[in-house]
Chain A
Amino acid sequence: MTSPILRRDLLGTAAALVGTAATLPAAEAAQISGSLPWSPSEGTPPPVEPTQPYTWEFFTADEAALVGAIADRIIPADDLSIGGKEAGCAVFIDKQLAGNYGKGTNYYLKGPYRPGTPQQGPQTLETFAQRYREGLAALVAFCASKHGGAAFTTLSAADQDALLHEMEAGAFYTGPVTSTAFFNQLIQNVREGYFADPIYGGNKDMAGWKLIGFPGARYDYRDVIGRRGEKLDLEPVGLMGRPGWNPA
């Protein structure tokens, strides 16, 4: 089984590396001291840098606003849960695009570029960051052409949805491919932001997990597996804890 020391160390490292302090107020320290020290020689967690307001790493302010607005249509705020924007999906995507994912480090982007069959999968040589830059610019232009120069963020929800439906159907091009490919990418990344562990900048207050009843980063269900078919209502917990650890 995992040593508790190791667990604490890693949590500390994750905090430093990912730096999504927005989800973890510094005031938590006192609450977990004593029972859960953060390193062998320390009784309180390392101070967490406050990162509000968030500084965009990849997006321009306009791009960030646009992605937030799109996230709010892909996962709208309603009586079930908060929307994609409030959940932090744009922040999540920004961080992803600024990192290895955006750079396409793990993907095969070697030429020559030649279009293929649908069965051969996407062939573009652009990184995900480049695809966003181009795709968002193409959407801005498409929106302006349809709505007399208006920005997407100023449209009504119904108009935004109509535009996104056209985008989904391939109404314009982004680079050599139709807008469908980029829309699929948006759906995927917005979902990721809504449902990934909060350390990545989205899934605020574990809203995504609470929506479907997913208990998060737990790793031991031996005590409940025998309760087959029962509604378990397990509180979610993330890699860096959960709000319940730190009563206000």
Chain B
Amino acid sequence: MALKRPKADAVIIGLGWAGSLMANELTMAGLNVVAIERGGWRDTSTDFPTSMDTDELRYATRRELLQPLSVETMSFRNNPGQQARPLRDFNTYQFGWGAGGAGSHWNGMTWRFLPNDFQTYSNTVAKYGKGRFVTGLTVQDWGVTYDDLEPFYDKFERYAGTSGKAGNIKGVIQPGGNVFEGARQRDYPLPPLERTRAAELFDIGAKELGLHSFPVPAGNTSGAYVNPLGIHMAPCTYCGYCEFFGCGNWSKSSPNACILPALIQRPNFTVITESEVMKVNLTPDKKMATGVTYIDKQGREWEQPADIVVISAYQMDNVRLMLLSGIGKPYDRASLTGVVGRNYANQTVSGAGVFFENENLNPFIGAGALAQSADDYNSDNFDHAKLDFIGGANMLIHSTNGRPIGSANVVPPGTPRWGSEWKKTYKDSYQVGNSIYNQGNSYPHEDVFLDLDPTYTDRFGRPLLRVTFDWNENDKRSGHFMADRAVEFGHAMNAKMVFRNEPTAKHFSPMDNLSSHTTGGAIMGDDPMTSAVNRYLQSWDVPNTFVCGASAFANNGGYNPTGTVGALTLWAAEAIKTKYLKSPGALVSL
């Protein structure tokens, strides 16, 4: 028999960005909230002090802040005809754990998706016709629009202390910002970060090609900042230890820096750390959740009853917990029915390696989101009339991660991997090498999905989540087109050597570490036959359960996901506060 804790108003599974934001809103509304987090408590000043943070081996190479694979990994296969195998080494699916989740060690690129990203289906049909979708593509609208989410993007940027330059304030285009972005009510809370030589070179290329370059919106503070919770953030020092590192300088947007210091002081909030939720418990008719079952550090089983269950365990584990708990109908590839595990997507990556002559890029100076970019070929920002795919990519040059172990492969292709020639080439390349990185839209396909692995299990003996993924035809066409754009860009920047990079030309492998941005699997929408949650992230089947995270994305944008994860979570929190609490039940009636 499980031990039982007193009932909470809401239980939150996982204390990353989504869980922290939700807990913050619900506790401010007076609810008694219990969060259960599989990793430990993590605190800015004592867990990530700058005196030990700048350690490449520990954090970037060994990925010490990430969830160990021995706790849970994915199994993977390229298509339904293959048998999946577990991913045994660190790879592109990177899971946060501990209070703060992956938000502790992310880079901080804080994007808003483009208005078209939420309505790609209807826009494409209207503009290019249904025939534009390649066979098997399952694109659908999200059920929310950019305009619905705008206030919540704004709110997230305020909490996070985002540095950037607006490109469109209330419909008025702002030169120097992203002129393609949806209209925003006001500028970012902080101005853009400092510029690097790489940014200057990017601007030269953009100008030559007539593209609109702008600084990537950054969760790295360009100056001192006090957020709406009264938390003080310090200016970013450009140490360059961001991705896979915590920030002890209070300069990176993270739940640890921006939310938890206020949240943890509220008497109506409790977090139970080092405890893993096994499943959401349902009433016998499976129509309501009664709480969750978890196993604590000592291996004891507990029940945490609650009126509201929030699943915010990251995109992958959101889907897995739904499958393990029996919430929603699992996707079945054979009959093309069911919703949980459906519309999984990743990121269509392409680019070009660029090597300059007589430059000092000083790549050790950086920040996780210190990047210059252009959006001219993202989403539907360019005319696809004569093309045979939808979507595109944001193109950027990044000033970060110029560390010696990780950069040892940043040498022109064909260089030996060892010996004196490698050594000399590496020495010569270190100051002159970088890349154009295209982060592309990814659209779901019926052959791509998540389900439970029949063979491999986690530390508790529960099935791993199985990923079935390969590039679809749309990805391949868009990846090819965008690799061409990157090569063109490299030449326009006057790079001495330009190397095309088109990963979509071969089978996808998680071992290639192209992008950790996975989306979908429990998507939002207007129709319970094709979506797992409604427009308020509320489960269609179990209305007192809300599922927050990139699992809700009906498709991926040509951007990093977290700005949109934040906005959607705050949007859902608002619906819980203003609608659900007044009359608990389905918020969307059919």
Q: Which residues of A contact B (CB under 8 A)?
A: 1-3, 6-7, 10-11, 14, 73-76, 78, 80-81, 101, 104-110, 112, 114, 116-124, 161, 164, 187, 190-192, 195-197, 200, 208-209, 211-222, 224-226, 228-232, 239
- The reply on B147 being an interface residue by CB < 8 A is no
Across the interface, A121 reaches (CB within 8 A) one of B70, B89, B196, namely B89
The distance in angstroms between the C-alpha atoms of A218 and B364, with both chains bound, is 9
| 6 closest cross-chain pairs (CB), A and B | A116-B85, A195-B404, A119-B509, A219-B239, A7-B51, A106-B68
Residue of A nearest to B75 (CB): A120
| Contacting pair B196 A225 (CB below 8 A) | yes
The distance in angstroms between the C-alpha atoms of A81 and B195, with both chains bound, is 33
Q: A73-B419, A213-B430, A239-B54 are in contact. Are A106 and B62 (CB under 8 A)?
A: yes
Chain A residues near B240: list those with CB within 8 A: 221
| Contacting pair A112 B408 (CB below 8 A) | no
The distance in angstroms between the C-alpha atoms of A197 and B70, with both chains bound, is 26
| Contacting pair A217 B420 (CB below 8 A) | no
Interface of B is mostly: loop
Across the interface, B57 reaches (CB within 8 A) one of A117, A121, A197, A211, namely A197
The distance in angstroms between the C-alpha atoms of A126 and B402, with both chains bound, is 32
The distance in angstroms between the C-alpha atoms of A108 and B87, with both chains bound, is 7
Chain B residues near A197: list those with CB within 8 A: 55-57
Which residues of B (51-72) have their CB < 8 Å from a CB of A? Answer: 51-57, 61-64, 68-70
Residue of A nearest to B512 (CB): A119
Residue of A nearest to B507 (CB): A119
Q: Which of A76, A107, A120, A221: most chain B CB closer than 10 A? A: A120
Q: A120-B87, A161-B419 are in contact. Are A11 and B196 (CB under 8 A)?
A: no
**Cβ contacts A to B, 24 pairs, < 8 Å:** A2-B45, A2-B248, A10-B51, A76-B420, A105-B70, A106-B64, A106-B68, A106-B70, A107-B68, A108-B86, A120-B77, A121-B85, A121-B87, A190-B418, A192-B57, A195-B403, A195-B404, A195-B405, A195-B408, A218-B54, A219-B239, A219-B241, A228-B195, A230-B362
Q: Please give the distance in Å from B73's CB to the nearest CB on chain A.
A: 4
Q: Which residues of B contact A (CB under 8 A)?
A: 45-46, 49-57, 61-64, 68-70, 73, 76-78, 82-91, 194-197, 200, 234-235, 237-241, 248-250, 359-362, 364-365, 402-405, 407-408, 417-420, 423-424, 426-427, 430-431, 455-457, 507-511
Across the interface, A117 reaches (CB within 8 A) one of B78, B195, B362, B364, namely B78
Across the interface, B509 reaches (CB within 8 A) one of A105, A118, A161, A229, namely A118
| Contacting pair A211 B423 (CB below 8 A) | yes
Q: A108-B87, A112-B455, A187-B417 are in contact. Are A239 and B52 (CB under 8 A)?
A: yes
| Contacting pair A221 B237 (CB below 8 A) | yes
Chain A residues near B364: list those with CB within 8 A: 214-215, 218, 221
Interface of A is mostly: loop
| Contacting pair B52 A108 (CB below 8 A) | no
The distance in angstroms between the C-alpha atoms of A119 and B419, with both chains bound, is 28
Q: Please give the distance in Å from A30's CB to the nearest CB on chain B.
A: 22
Q: Please give the distance in Å from A98's CB to the nearest CB on chain B.
A: 15
Q: A2-B248, A220-B237 are in contact. Are A212 and B54 (CB under 8 A)?
A: no
| Contacting pair A220 B239 (CB below 8 A) | yes
Q: Please give the distance in Å from A12's CB to the nearest CB on chain B.
A: 11
The distance in angstroms between the C-alpha atoms of A108 and B63, with both chains bound, is 14
Q: Please give the distance in Å from A82's CB to the nearest CB on chain B.
A: 11
Chain B residues near A76: list those with CB within 8 A: 419-420, 423
Chain B residues near A121: list those with CB within 8 A: 76, 85, 87-89, 91, 509-511
Residue of A nearest to B201 (CB): A229
Q: Which of A3, A6, A74, A221: most chain B CB closer than 10 A? A: A221
Chain A residues near B511: list those with CB within 8 A: 119-121
Chain A residues near B509: list those with CB within 8 A: 118-121
Q: Please give the distance in Å from B74's CB to the nearest CB on chain A.
A: 9
| Contacting pair A119 B508 (CB below 8 A) | yes
| Contacting pair B51 A110 (CB below 8 A) | no
| Contacting pair B50 A239 (CB below 8 A) | no
Chain A residues near B57: list those with CB within 8 A: 192, 196-197, 200
The distance in angstroms between the C-alpha atoms of A106 and B197, with both chains bound, is 38
Residue of B nearest to A81 (CB): B423
Q: A114-B85, A225-B238 are in contact. Are A217 and B248 (CB under 8 A)?
A: no
18 further A-B contacts with Cβ under 8 Å, apart from A2-B249, A121-B85, A229-B197, are A1-B250, A6-B45, A6-B46, A76-B420, A106-B63, A108-B70, A121-B88, A122-B88, A161-B419, A164-B418, A195-B56, A197-B55, A213-B430, A221-B240, A221-B364, A228-B197, A228-B200, A231-B360
Residue of A nearest to B431 (CB): A213
| Contacting pair B195 A239 (CB below 8 A) | no
